[in-house]
Structure 1
Amino acid sequence: MNEVIFRQATVADVKSLLRIENAVFTSPWSEKAFRNEFYTNQYAYYLVAEQNEAVIGYAGVWLILDEGHITNIAVHPDYQGKGYGQALLAKLLDTATEKGVIRLTLEVRVSNMQAQKLYRKFGFKDGAIRKQYYPDNQEDALVMWVER
């Protein structure tokens, strides 16, 4: 694995986040949604993973008191399968813990077994099902939780 640098994302990273978002997700966030995260959501915190000065992945979390809600984790398809997603999640969880978070939650597609396996590796447990959560195909979401 070539050296990856993790840093807090800024609004200047929005174009890079969109490039990854559109390459990875069938229902990608819009530029407006990302800009709202940086300009109006006081709880939002985003990390980027950079390699050779290019953003290859990112992760976001909303930090609300002692709870965190992971919004997105994505690695550009050209860099998937190399451990970068796991490293990004580990860094995001460590950052959340440093900021006083003791429990985190996320939603994941019920069909996304690869992501669920990664989350379970970090101690996430299955919670509820959110029926028809995803707008593109009405797929259910599995809610997962972890206590740190």
Structure 2
Amino acid sequence: MGERLIRKMEIADVDQVMEVEKATFATPWPPDIFYQELLDNKHAFYFVMELDGKIIGYIGAWIVVDDMQITNVAVIPAYRGQKFGEMLFSYILQFAITLGVARLSLEVRKSNRIAQKMYRKFGLVPGGIREKYYADDQEDAIVMWVNL
């Protein structure tokens, strides 16, 4: 395995992050949302994972008071199954703990059993359903959360 690095996302990373986004999601965020998150949202925290200098994944969250809401987790499909998503999630979880965050939550597609299994490894439990949450196909989201 090559050299791995997790670091804060920067404006210069948006083009590579868009490659991850397009490879991962049926309805990817447009670049301007990332610019807005990085430049204008004081609650937003985004991190990228590099492998040998190439961004292969990222994770983002909002922190408001002592709650963290994960906004996105993405790893390029060719790199899945190698624990990169777990490494990103573990990183942001430790980041949250150092900031004194009390609760972490996220939404995950009802059909995304692999992600749900990973989140359970970190102690997250289902807390409810958001019906027809995803705009692209109206799939329900499971809300998962954990007290830190």
- Which TM-score bucket, shorter chain as reference? over 0.9
Deviation by residue 1:70-129 (Cα, 9 ceiling, x = unmatched):
000111112111111111100011011111212111000000000000000100010110
CA RMSD of aligned residues (A): 0.9
| 8 Å contact from structure 1 (residues 65, 100) kept in 2 | no
2:6 corresponds in structure 1 to 6
Q: Distance in 1 between matches of 2:27 and 2:144?
A: 20
- State percent identity of aligned pairs: 46
Q: Deviation digits for residues 40-78 of structure 1, max 9, x if unmatched? A: 111000111111111111000101111100000111112
Tell me the equivalent position of 1:29.
29
Which sections of structure 2, spanning at least 5 residues, go unmatched? none
The Cα shift of 1:135 comes to 0.6
> Any residues of structure 2 matched to 1:83-102 within 5 Å, and which?
83-102=83-102
Structure 1 unaligned segments of length 5 or more: list them: none
Matched, 1:141 2:141: yes
Q: How many corresponding residue pairs?
A: 148
Match of 1:118 in 2: 118
Distance 1:117 1:2 in 2: 26
Deviation at 1:2, TM superposition (A): 2.9
- Secondary structure in structure 1 of the residue aligned to 2:57: strand
Tell whether the 8 Å contact from 1:46 to 1:60 is kept in structure 2 after alignment: yes
**What is residue 67 of structure 2 aligned with on the other side?**
67
Runs of 4+ in 1 over 4 A off after TM superposition: none
TM-score w.r.t. structure 2 length?
0.97
Distance 2:52 2:146 in 1: 33
Deviation per CA, 1:6-53: give whole Å up to 9, x if none: 111111111111110110111211111111101111100011111111
1:45 aligned partner: 45
What secondary structure is seen at the aligned counterpart in 1 of 2:72?
Answer: strand
Q: In structure 1, what residue type is equivalent to 2:8?
A: Q
